[in-house]
Structure 1
Amino acid sequence: MKQKQKLILFLIAFISLSAYSQNIIRGVITEKSTGNPIPGVNVVIKGTSNGAVSDFDGNYTIEASIGETLVFSYIGFKNLEVVISESTLNIALEEDAATLDEVVIIGYGSASVKDLTGAIEKVTTEDFNPGAITSPEQLITGKTAGVNVIPPSGQPGQGGTISIRGGNSSLSANNSPLVVIDGVPIDQGTTGGNGVAALNSINPNDIESFVVLKDASSTAIYGSRASAGVILITTKSGNLSSPFKVQINTTGSIGMVQRTNDVLNAEQYRQVAVNSQNASLIVPLLGNIDTDWQDEIFQEALGTDSNITLTQGFGSTSYRVSLGYTTQEGLVKTSKFERSSASINLLQKLFDNSLSIDLNLRGALTQDDFANGGALGSASQFDPTQSVFSGSEEFGGYWEWLQPDGTPQPLSPRNPVALLQLLSNTAETERALGNIKFDYNAPFLEGLNANINLGFDYNEVNGVTNTPASSAAGFFSQGSVGDYGSIRRSTLIDAFLNYKKDIESLRSSIELTAGHTFQKFYRKNFNSNTPTVGTSVENSFETQNALESYVTRLRYSYDSRYLLTASYRSDGSSRFSEDNRWGNFFAGALAWNISEENFLKDSNTVSNLKLRLGYGQTGQQEIGVDFGYLPVYVNGADNQQYQLGNTFYNTVRPQGFDENIKWEESETYNIGLDYGFLNDRISGSIEYFTRETNDVLNLIPIPSGTNLTNQLTTNIGDLENSGFEFTITSDIIRKKDFNWNLSFNASYLTNKILKLNIVDDPSFIGVPTGFITGGIGNTVQIHRVGSPQRSFLLFKQVYDTDGRPLEGVYEDLNNDGVIDSGDLYVSENPAADYLFGLSSSASYKNWDLSFTMRASLGNYVYNNVASSTGNEFGLHSLGSNRNVHVSILETGFRNNQLLSDYYLEDASFLKMDNITLGYNFKDILKDDNIGLRLQLTMQNVFTITGYNGIDPEISGGIDNNFFPRPRNIVFGANMNF
């Protein structure tokens, strides 16, 4: 009995001691050189999968026993192993120059920064722009040299426009960069031609990084779709050693109108009307009200964005799940955007980590309420002396221009408030995007890796328009309901082998990549219109295309000093005939790591110096049609129907075609110098590039009878783009309590058209483009040999001695005594000559302050709002009065002067995109595992410009009733526990 008692007492003591030996180990992880806390450090008990991650302030907590060993690891720092001797263990990590070369995702692989040979730039979560971000491209605005992100208009939920190195690689095909999300190329048809419209269904909170491939030596691996550059987006994933964590982010915003179209107020309008040539028609129709119609259609736009993320790792398995909800009102009443999103990432390691299975799935449901676009123009033109409401119940109670019989004037502007409140246009978009990657490291041959990537992208839009018969806009059609939509889907299969071998005896390393990729696209558009009285009209169109490619790449390094990259891609596109179906794209790049040479290797000043030379061929197959090489029949227009009995049938007609249509091909040369000083406290790069595009597709007139059309898109042009880029980043101050980082980038970009005809024809003036309002078929831009794309073609205005423009008086530039089309001259273009970006981030203890600014020099905008309405002719038309642009007070123009360069304005600008003040709270609830950050952001802070319109940043260079961008004030809170 005593023996049993002793045994029980021994077991109790042993268990107690064991329990007692399990301590809560805590501490702070800092940077050894500065004392700054390091968030996100992995802390693992050696020999186990038990671990933790440091928080915003470097704090960590882990349950471990005295005598066990903790392993601390973080990218850019040396791993550190420490034996636990007490419950408080503060750690200082030392920078590791060998691991500071961050791994960067490149096409079909990855590489360290040190081994890169191309012009590649990475922007991560730490650098993203803050604020009310609804579309991912807004995260990198102003962050990268040579990358111009024109923000979306004020229509909520819309994407902006991205161009890389000018983006002028084509005249008629897609000029947007290829966007690849987690290895899945997004259908450039889906993007609507601007490269990013499809991204508005991707939750920005799920994005980890953007990698921009700028030169052809790095983009050629994507061959047929890479002429305008490539953007690789990597989304966030779980961490194998992460404990269960919850992150909650929420923001609330309010947006305000900065500027409206400068039109006459009621008092000015009455004065101009009385003195006008048509005073007898205008004055009797004047009202006695003072209405600011633009003020009536705009509102303060409220928005919210909330996200919750769950992550956890189990040693060989991790997951990340996120849910998001965004709602954003537009500045124009009745416009609104809502998005509900969800994503899941699962990572599984098998067979002693030889096999990795990475699953990414994300979906979104967006609801758009589109404001009637006609309300913007109507608010600028509607008579400011009339009231919003009529006092009667007709036409929804809104005041309208009526005929003597009480029916609406058919060609008069409509009450802008009525257009918003009585007409509707809503759409629902379902988006699903995902992929699964199998990555296998072969155990039988070290360095051999097999990778299979299966991906899909599905996008479905369903919209409804409603124009009630009770509205003035729907009176003559007796109202209608319309349905419209589209389905776009793509599937992807990638299969690649990668072999990497270090040959120590030769001080060399070699990496070979080879693979096959196939992607298929399907697109369908449909619409119908059902009038209250009459027959429903339905139209639909569906098409498909596919790409098949074979890819190889060689990467070689000698002694980490001399680097070589060579790649080849063979692309087959179903958009071309069998004779022109396959295109071959080569690329090569050399790099010299000068800082690895003996005379610099031990330098305390120069930490990085690398010279890069690159050449590459890329293509363009986004030509707008899938079967342009085939003779096909299409439905005729509605006014070309034939009658059989009481039924009308659409005709069918042959469509023009070019059986020899082929790729656009580009050749690009790049030279770059990467530099870093003082352990990369100062770093950056200098680049020069030149790109020539051949066989450019262009729409040209053709002789009658030679085809089934009078205009045909065919390969006849050559283009040239070139430029310089400069970036510099500096940790100006790096102290324990105070840090300040400043980044600056600058770009100089030019483009020129070299050829537009199959044969030289001195009489060929070029291809008109840039349609404007104020007349029928008027254009103000042209593609002309020797000039930049979309150059403005206008008359040179003559002014009197007081600087006042003389109506209808232009310079006779060809000195023939007659003012005609021969006197139109090329004057400027919409593309900026210089682009600048400046970003600053500073922190003092728990406070931080950051901002981003941009500047654009040499971009011009044609003010079509002023040119189409800034004259007396616009005061009255077809029985109704109309407001006009305030420029009439300066010009006194009686009639339209649409082709006068008086309306062409220098739209150079300096913008502060955002400024953010934040505070990190410590010791919330006395628990080191809980972090809280509050921040206040202002977006679109100010714009300094000489342009007289609403906004100088107009994609395409023609300002015509632009949907204004809001100034947002955003309050945000981020919490981790």
Structure 2
Amino acid sequence: MRTLFKSTLLLLFMLPMSFFAQSTVSGTVTESGTGLPIPGVNIIVQGTSTGTTTDFDGNYTLSNLNENDVLVYSFLGFAAKEIVYAGQTRLDVQLDESEATLEEVVLIGYGSTTRQDATGAVEKISPESFNRGAVVSPETLIAGKSAGVRITPSSEPGGGGEIRIRGGSSLSGNNSPLIVVDGIPLDQRGVQGVRNQLNAINPEEIEDFVILKDAAATSIYGSRASNGVILITTKRGSLASGFNLEYDLKASVGQITDKVNVLNADQFRTLINDTQGTDPSLLGNTSTDWQDQIYRTSIGAIHNLTLSEGFENFTYRVNFNRTDQQGVLQTDLYERNAVNLVLTQNLLDNDLKLTLNAKGIVDRNRFADQGAIGAAVSFDPTQPVYDPTSPFDGFFEFRTGDTTMDEMRQATRNPVAMLQQNDNNAENLRTITNLNVDYRLPFLDGLRFNLNAGIDYSELEGEQFRPLTSAVIGEPVAFENYYWGMNRNTLLDFYFNYRTEVDAINTKLDLTAGHSFQEFYIQSQSRFTQNSELTTFPEAINRNALESYFARASFDISNRYLISASFRRDGSSRFSEENRWANFPSVSVGWKIMNEPFMQNSNTFSDLKLRAGYGVTGNQEIGPNYGYLGLYTPSQGGARVQFGYNPDGSRRFVNTIRPEEFDANLKWEELQTYNAGIDFGFFNNRFTGSVDAYYRETKDLLATVPVPAGANLSDFLTTNVGQTVSRGVEIGLNGLLVNTEDFNWSVNYNLTFQDLEITQLSLGENPDFFIPQGGISGGVGNTIQLWKEGYDPTTFFVFRQVYNEQGQPIEGAYVDVNGDNQITEADRQPYKKATPDFYMGFTNSLSYKDFDLSFTFRGNFNNYVYNNTQSSNGFVGAGTITPQPYYSNLNSNVLESNFRNNQFFSDYYIQRADFVRLDNLSLGYLIPNNRDDVAVRVSLTGTNLFVITNYEGLDPEISNGIDNNFYPRTRNVVLGLNFIF
């Protein structure tokens, strides 16, 4: 296509140029040390926009050359080389390795540094390390790739994974990291109506991730950086690169790997027949696997079409993305149409650089009723899916034809009907656009001015409809729900950066100072069926702003000793004027031991650096409201009172206005972090790694705690109370095990040890004070976890089960912990926790000639899960003791435990959930051809291929540690085709 395009232009417009004598040269660019070809080398005719790049085999062809042209060969990690063209037709070039690994530019807050000059815990993850496959959510790319970063992938289509950097630090506050996309910090609360706000960023367009882990690296982001920062940079065109067209297709097929173990129809009939007081005549005469009925083989396709071109001073890159992804749950669907445009313009002899980055996204969802997952687990397996006599669109239901509230209103609904009779669609239109101006000021060498103006704007429209023939409906009219929302996030920040060398003291100086203002505005409104009429609820508006001043100073003394300090002052409208402003300082040091004279002749070490730092960050994410103000809000749902009568004589109901709880002294949550680390490299950096150890203390903890009756306007209040302490060690190792002309093998291994403890919680001195957490299915208001001083926030709160000599649990028999000869609430004990003690990621990347293979394992260790699917349905009474004339299915664990009644709080259901998962396996092949301007690659990828675990439930990787109605993860097979012209 590219050749045809050029040929057409040549015939129509450039025919006269054929009279001039110009030449073409071809060749191969290789590494001088190994002889391996180098793909992607930029080759430019010096002083012109004529250029090309090498293909996957290091080959290139460059036309329209004149004798004495200077060809410049450059590639990251190698020293650039200039060669004068003398008319030859073939020119093979070898490039020498440079210090590029250490000199690699790494983004930090409001600026950049190099890897060897970074004093904080900073890690860059580039595309060659990304997980492969039909990736929809960007965070999936880096799962298992970085020590200290744990990503729990989502199961639903387009769903966002949970990201935790160093385990999080807050209780009621947001524990997600701050995400900055091309300089725009995203709203940490997310965007209305989307499953994952990061889906606005096309994974194929991401250039790299930079993860800032410790306070020395993050404190320049101040109030939002207590849980780490992730900087995402998207791709852009390169100067003098010529026209490029790329099409990429990934088609996927996915299936669930397991189902919740429940009784089949025969086992259920046997149990009902053997249970006294039951009526077997209530059973059906069919055999239905309800989980088979609600799940399907999911299919998906991701298309990417990219055009890019670079001129002497201008580049453009345009990407169109179309994503279709079905969920394995029937009717669940995610669609994305997105355009990403990046324009760069250099002016004033390259002193002024303008960059426009615009993303336009149409995000569509059909949301399945996930309540069908629980219904499929508990629905009577002897009943049919369809009943020709049923008034509910032919679906079998326990309810009668009377659509008013009747004696069967508590019966489990047909899970297939719950899905098919629910039409819940939402469309979100979103744009993330920013203009960046970078100007090298002419009056002082080394001084730059950077201005960034951006907006993240989205509008949501959605509607949900259930027909009157749905048994879920509890009113004599169909259910309708219309909702609308708008999110607006605007940003304006600027900073000055000055870099210079002070020869008198042999010091490099890097100074930055700036200002930032960001405003977040959320608006929403809905109307839905209530009390047999369509009710419109008042418009809800939330608006808050953040103003900041920041500065950083970095010193590199004698290319050996590093000192860096930063300061940020944040003002947030979430707090009162007395507590509005807070200061966030940091200081860090580094010692580049490798540059010391005594290391110059080392044949072993190629890099060695010590780092240490201290910093303060904050947290202000306390929910949608202003917690320090006394607000009045309109009631929701059915909270209405009668106020007179309508003209037709019917009673008039009006919504109430109620005061909300508040704390006038609410202030910032503050996190102090100490970090020490070492970076090292051996044998010309064929083996590299880092080790970091940290200690973090969160003070003025933002938490929602119970307060005495009458002390405030609610029984619970979000306030500053207590503190937490976390510790950890992170190890990251990289190795190039084999490096030959035909075969390469590199590995990455990361291991993280972590510990989090609540050290203070109550406003008083009661050592036994705790706050129940972790709601479970079974009963009303039951919880299985607690917050308590001395324990991890995900610690379970249970009775210790007693077992007989055969190892079987004895129903109702628990350990009398306090020795008072009775089992009471005082005998419930904190026991085990959901967060792992350590976790790891292990990636291998291999290539042989035109083949490449990569695979990634992830694992969590010494963590536990409460198996709520067993506890809620794993006793005989869960399905048989009911006043209504129907029965519910049981978890097959009932055949092992033989429990007759519920044992919700028994540690019998606390199960070890260690696992090792083969997360990603990808095989690729570059199809050989004789065209220098065309490359075709095919790939086959498998994700979530297998899990090694002893956990008895559906999946051991449960973010909150409570396994209940879990949307099952799928095993996917992905076929990929990539064409480059």
TM normalised by structure 2 equals 0.95
Task: Tell me if the contact between 2:332 and 2:368 (Cα under 8 Å) persists in the aligned partners.
Answer: yes
Find the aligned partners of 1:519 and 1:199 in 2 and give their Cα distance: 19
Q: Could you tell me which of 715, 718, 723 is aligned with 1:710? A: 715
- Please report how far the alpha carbon of residue 477 of structure 1 lies from its aligned counterpart in structure 2 after TM superposition: 4.1
Task: Tell me if the contact between 2:193 and 2:460 (Cα under 8 Å) persists in the aligned partners.
Answer: no
Q: Could you tell me which of 906, 910, 920 is aligned with 2:912? A: 906
Find the aligned partners of 1:314 and 1:364 in 2 and give their Cα distance: 28
For residue 347 of structure 1, what is the amino acid of its counterpart? Answer: T
Partner of 2:220, secondary structure, is: helix
For residue 847 of structure 2, what is the amino acid of its counterpart? Answer: S
Task: Tell me if the contact between 1:183 and 1:453 (Cα under 8 Å) persists in the aligned partners.
Answer: yes
For residue 91 of structure 2, what is the amino acid of its counterpart? Answer: L
Find the aligned partners of 1:122 and 1:288 in 2 and give their Cα distance: 60
Matched, 1:670 2:675: yes
Q: Could you tell me which of 884, 887, 891 is aligned with 1:881? A: 887
Partner of 1:875, secondary structure, is: helix
**Aligned residue number for residue 272 of structure 1:** 271
Task: Tell me if the contact between 2:391 and 2:401 (Cα under 8 Å) persists in the aligned partners.
Answer: no
Q: Could you tell me which of 330, 333, 356 is aligned with 2:353? A: 356
**Aligned residue number for residue 930 of structure 1:** 934
Find the aligned partners of 1:260 and 1:741 in 2 and give their Cα distance: 37
- Please report how far the alpha carbon of residue 393 of structure 1 lies from its aligned counterpart in structure 2 after TM superposition: 5.3
**Aligned residue number for residue 12 of structure 1:** none
Task: Tell me if the contact between 1:479 and 1:532 (Cα under 8 Å) persists in the aligned partners.
Answer: no
- Please report how far the alpha carbon of residue 267 of structure 1 lies from its aligned counterpart in structure 2 after TM superposition: 1.1
- Please report how far the alpha carbon of residue 758 of structure 1 lies from its aligned counterpart in structure 2 after TM superposition: 2.6
**Aligned residue number for residue 29 of structure 2:** 29
For residue 836 of structure 1, what is the amino acid of its counterpart? Answer: M
For residue 112 of structure 2, what is the amino acid of its counterpart? Answer: S
For residue 913 of structure 2, what is the amino acid of its counterpart? Answer: A
Find the aligned partners of 1:522 and 1:687 in 2 and give their Cα distance: 38
- Please report how far the alpha carbon of residue 162 of structure 1 lies from its aligned counterpart in structure 2 after TM superposition: 0.2
Partner of 2:397, secondary structure, is: coil
Find the aligned partners of 1:193 and 1:817 in 2 and give their Cα distance: 53
Structure 1 residue ranges without an equivalent (≥5):
1-14
Find the aligned partners of 1:775 and 1:16 in 2 and give their Cα distance: 86
Q: Could you tell me which of 809, 815, 818 is aligned with 2:813? A: 809
Change (3 A) 1:475 1:656: closer
**Aligned residue number for residue 680 of structure 1:** 685
**Aligned residue number for residue 440 of structure 1:** 439
Task: Tell me if the contact between 1:383 and 1:881 (Cα under 8 Å) persists in the aligned partners.
Answer: yes
For residue 448 of structure 1, what is the amino acid of its counterpart? Answer: L
Find the aligned partners of 1:21 and 1:44 in 2 and give their Cα distance: 20
- Please report how far the alpha carbon of residue 33 of structure 1 lies from its aligned counterpart in structure 2 after TM superposition: 1.4
**Aligned residue number for residue 635 of structure 2:** 636
**Aligned residue number for residue 845 of structure 2:** 841
Moved more, 599-608 or 207-216: 599-608
Q: Could you tell me which of 327, 338, 341 is aligned with 2:338? A: 341
For residue 919 of structure 2, what is the amino acid of its counterpart? Answer: D
Task: Tell me if the contact between 1:549 and 1:572 (Cα under 8 Å) persists in the aligned partners.
Answer: yes
1:271-420, aligned counterparts within 5 Å? 271-279=270-278, 281=279, 283-392=280-389, 394-403=391-400, 409-420=408-419
For residue 866 of structure 1, what is the amino acid of its counterpart? Answer: Q
Matched, 1:739 2:744: yes
- Please report how far the alpha carbon of residue 55 of structure 1 lies from its aligned counterpart in structure 2 after TM superposition: 2.0
Task: Tell me if the contact between 1:372 and 1:424 (Cα under 8 Å) persists in the aligned partners.
Answer: no
1:510-659, aligned counterparts within 5 Å? 510-530=509-529, 533-637=532-636, 638-646=638-646, 647-659=652-664
Task: Tell me if the contact between 2:32 and 2:96 (Cα under 8 Å) persists in the aligned partners.
Answer: yes
Change (3 A) 1:535 1:973: closer
For residue 780 of structure 1, what is the amino acid of its counterpart? Answer: I
**Aligned residue number for residue 7 of structure 2:** none
**Aligned residue number for residue 491 of structure 1:** 490
For residue 68 of structure 2, what is the amino acid of its counterpart? Answer: G
Find the aligned partners of 2:632 and 2:224 in 1 and give their Cα distance: 28
Find the aligned partners of 2:345 and 2:276 in 1 and give their Cα distance: 79
**Aligned residue number for residue 143 of structure 1:** 145
Matched, 1:723 2:728: yes
Task: Tell me if the contact between 1:669 and 1:691 (Cα under 8 Å) persists in the aligned partners.
Answer: yes
Residue deviations 1:324-362 (CA, integer Å, cap 9, x gap): 100001101111111000010000000000000011000
Change (3 A) 1:81 1:896: same
Partner of 1:610, secondary structure, is: strand
Task: Tell me if the contact between 2:192 and 2:485 (Cα under 8 Å) persists in the aligned partners.
Answer: no
For residue 682 of structure 2, what is the amino acid of its counterpart? Answer: F
**Aligned residue number for residue 10 of structure 2:** none
Partner of 2:291, secondary structure, is: helix
Residue deviations 1:189-229 (CA, integer Å, cap 9, x gap): 126899x9210222111111100000000000000000000
Task: Tell me if the contact between 1:545 and 1:626 (Cα under 8 Å) persists in the aligned partners.
Answer: no
For residue 281 of structure 2, what is the amino acid of its counterpart? Answer: P
For residue 753 of structure 1, what is the amino acid of its counterpart? Answer: I
- Please report how far the alpha carbon of residue 704 of structure 1 lies from its aligned counterpart in structure 2 after TM superposition: 2.6
- Please report how far the alpha carbon of residue 31 of structure 1 lies from its aligned counterpart in structure 2 after TM superposition: 1.5
Partner of 2:492, secondary structure, is: strand
Q: How well do the aligned residues superpose, as a CA RMSD in angstroms?
A: 1.7
**Aligned residue number for residue 118 of structure 1:** 120
% identity of equivalent residues: 45
1:69-84, aligned counterparts within 5 Å? 69-84=70-85
- Please report how far the alpha carbon of residue 406 of structure 1 lies from its aligned counterpart in structure 2 after TM superposition: 9.5
Change (3 A) 1:875 1:17: closer
Find the aligned partners of 1:422 and 1:99 in 2 and give their Cα distance: 57
Partner of 2:711, secondary structure, is: coil
Partner of 1:801, secondary structure, is: coil
Find the aligned partners of 2:98 and 2:146 in 1 and give their Cα distance: 26
For residue 889 of structure 2, what is the amino acid of its counterpart? Answer: N
For residue 170 of structure 1, what is the amino acid of its counterpart? Answer: S
- Please report how far the alpha carbon of residue 68 of structure 1 lies from its aligned counterpart in structure 2 after TM superposition: 1.8
Structure 2 residue ranges without an equivalent (≥5):
1-14, 647-651
- Please report how far the alpha carbon of residue 604 of structure 1 lies from its aligned counterpart in structure 2 after TM superposition: 2.5
**Aligned residue number for residue 702 of structure 2:** 697
Change (3 A) 1:714 1:591: same
Find the aligned partners of 1:402 and 1:441 in 2 and give their Cα distance: 74
Task: Tell me if the contact between 2:101 and 2:115 (Cα under 8 Å) persists in the aligned partners.
Answer: no
Task: Tell me if the contact between 2:669 and 2:720 (Cα under 8 Å) persists in the aligned partners.
Answer: yes
Find the aligned partners of 1:612 and 1:763 in 2 and give their Cα distance: 41
Matched, 1:955 2:959: yes
- Please report how far the alpha carbon of residue 158 of structure 1 lies from its aligned counterpart in structure 2 after TM superposition: 0.8
Find the aligned partners of 2:81 and 2:533 in 1 and give their Cα distance: 79
Matched, 1:128 2:127: no
**Aligned residue number for residue 6 of structure 1:** none
Find the aligned partners of 1:942 and 1:415 in 2 and give their Cα distance: 31
Partner of 1:73, secondary structure, is: strand
For residue 883 of structure 1, what is the amino acid of its counterpart? Answer: N
Moved more, 649-658 or 794-803: 649-658
TM normalised by structure 1 equals 0.96
For residue 336 of structure 1, what is the amino acid of its counterpart? Answer: L
For residue 291 of structure 1, what is the amino acid of its counterpart? Answer: T
Partner of 1:746, secondary structure, is: strand
Task: Tell me if the contact between 2:369 and 2:419 (Cα under 8 Å) persists in the aligned partners.
Answer: yes
**Aligned residue number for residue 4 of structure 1:** none
Task: Tell me if the contact between 2:926 and 2:936 (Cα under 8 Å) persists in the aligned partners.
Answer: yes
**Aligned residue number for residue 917 of structure 1:** 923
Find the aligned partners of 1:893 and 1:802 in 2 and give their Cα distance: 16
**Aligned residue number for residue 255 of structure 1:** 254
Moved more, 24-33 or 221-230: 24-33
- Please report how far the alpha carbon of residue 18 of structure 1 lies from its aligned counterpart in structure 2 after TM superposition: 8.3
Find the aligned partners of 1:874 and 1:656 in 2 and give their Cα distance: 38
Find the aligned partners of 2:54 and 2:81 in 1 and give their Cα distance: 15
For residue 71 of structure 1, what is the amino acid of its counterpart? Answer: V
Task: Tell me if the contact between 2:158 and 2:196 (Cα under 8 Å) persists in the aligned partners.
Answer: no
**Aligned residue number for residue 791 of structure 2:** 787
Residue deviations 1:304-335 (CA, integer Å, cap 9, x gap): 00001111011100000000100001101111
Residue deviations 1:456-495 (CA, integer Å, cap 9, x gap): 1012222111110012112644311111232111100011
Find the aligned partners of 1:477 and 1:161 in 2 and give their Cα distance: 40
For residue 174 of structure 2, what is the amino acid of its counterpart? Answer: N
Find the aligned partners of 2:534 and 2:939 in 1 and give their Cα distance: 56
**Aligned residue number for residue 970 of structure 1:** 974
Change (3 A) 1:404 1:277: farther
